[in-house]
């Protein structure tokens, strides 16, 4: 790992560049898996709305498989520097050879929120990129939504 670590309070923070050899969740398998058909039920999200995200996971070859399907979000612009990518949901599923399953996640605005500079939980208006296994889709939050 490259970078210089400094201690600030009780938290360790990296002050240099960070370039991991493997991505979070990376692992080896004797099975082949294919992801397809990433879909969302709406392109905009407002107060009280829910976003349904579905993806098909197919077990192409190899022995029985347990796969963890991970959903990440990225906010393109925010009042503070947003995470490049944040894990928002995951589901572990078992697949037999040749089997395909549709995995569904339900997100509401609070699931993609963060704590702003005023120390309030908020989902700010703007574009969010939803990513599963390298496939992406975009949803737009129509207005700032506060959670107290």
- From residue 140, alpha-carbon distances to 76, 77, 123 in Å are 10, 11, 11
Nearest to 109 by CA among 91, 79, 88: 88
Q: Are 70 and 57 in contact (CB under 8 A)?
A: no
Q: If you average pLDDT over residues 75-79, what whole number do you get? A: 87
> What is the C-alpha to C-alpha distance for residues 70 and 57, in angstroms, rounded to an integer?
11
Q: pLDDT (tens digit, 9 = 90+) per residue, 79-135?
A: 888 788 899 999 999 999 999 999 999 999 999 999 999 999 999 999 999 999 999
CATH C-level class of 27-147: mainly beta
pLDDT confidence band for 3 (50 / 70 / 90): very low
Q: Are 92 and 70 in contact (CB under 8 A)?
A: no
Q: What is the pLDDT of residue 33?
A: 92
The two three-digit tokens of residue 42, written as one number? 């709406």
R_g (Cα) of the chain, nearest Å: 18
Nearest to 79 by CA among 146, 139, 11: 146
- Is the pLDDT at 26 greater than 80, yes or no? no
Q: What is the pLDDT of residue 14?
A: 46
The two three-digit tokens of residue 135, written as one number? 């496939």
Q: What is the pLDDT of residue 130?
A: 96
Q: What is the pLDDT of residue 129?
A: 95
The domain ranges of the chain are 27-147
């Amino acid at each position: 790992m490259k970078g210089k670590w400094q201690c600030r309070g009780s938290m360790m923070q990296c002050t240099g560049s960070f370039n991991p050899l493997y991505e979070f969740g990376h692992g080896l398998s004797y099975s082949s898996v294919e992801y397809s058909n990433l879909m969302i039920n709406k392109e905009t999200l407002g107060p009280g709305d829910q976003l349904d995200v579905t993806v098909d996971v197919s077990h192409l070859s190899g022995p029985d498989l347990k796969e963890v399907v991970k959903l990440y979000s990225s906010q393109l612009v925010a009042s503070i520097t947003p995470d490049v990518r944040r894990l928002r949901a995951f589901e572990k599923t078992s697949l037999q050879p040749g089997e395909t399953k549709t995995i569904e996640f339900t997100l509401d605005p609070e699931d993609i929120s963060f704590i702003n500079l005023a120390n309030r939980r908020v989902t700010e208006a703007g574009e969010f990129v939803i990513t599963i296994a390298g496939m992406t889709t975009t949803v737009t939050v129509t207005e700032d939504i506060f959670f107290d």
